[in-house]
Structure 1
Amino acid sequence: MAAHNSKYPGLDPIPPPFGKEFPPVALIVEEKCIACDRCPPVCFFDALVMEDRPDHKYHRTAVVIRENCTGCGLCFEACPVEAIIWVPDTEDTKPKTRPGDSTVKDADV
């Protein structure tokens, strides 16, 4: 029986196809993020936070706390601009950004 999200009807977890081989984790594409604040509230695991970024278009962006991300898919469905992508949770896919960040520049995707 699938778990249903009563707080956000219709936003059930949708794991990506590679989820059977490697657990998926969310990754934020900073250039696409519009700092709308929709993703942090849907995350039951506190894996998403908004962080100030003076160099960002909106002066802040969503950041994934990779250790907390379960790959449930709720943030992916909540994002109105497809700024959240899935990557397999492997050493090769760890973001090449500042330590602790799970954001990526468009050029890295």
Structure 2
Amino acid sequence: MSHPESATPSPVDYVAVQESEKFQGHRRRQRSFVFPMAIFFLVWYFAYVLLGAYAHDFMATPVFGNINIGLILGLFQFVTTFAITTLYVRFANRKLDPVAEELRGELEDIEAGAATIEGNAR
């Protein structure tokens, strides 16, 4: 088991990577999707809960047979969840993953270069 004191320090300056424009842009891009979508879903969810708590007559309005507005809106909660998940996966595949792979590749290259240099020094 290795101890933190004896471990060789990483040649990657992760703080510098985190502060880099590429990484910050990546975070902005991710947050530009996640925060608005989270707000949208929370508003939609709490609206459903509040309607269920305070608008009994509206939620009990029959649409057809025993199916009422409350049931339809409740099922739509699931549909919304799956739709948001699908949208995020598509967004991540198109916009986030390529940049993340590029950043990972750069960091792995730095690590590999440092390992080669350390191997040659021995």
TM-score band, normalised by shorter chain? under 0.3
Normalized per residue, the structure richer in strand is: 1
Taking structure 1 as the reference length, the TM-score comes to 0.19
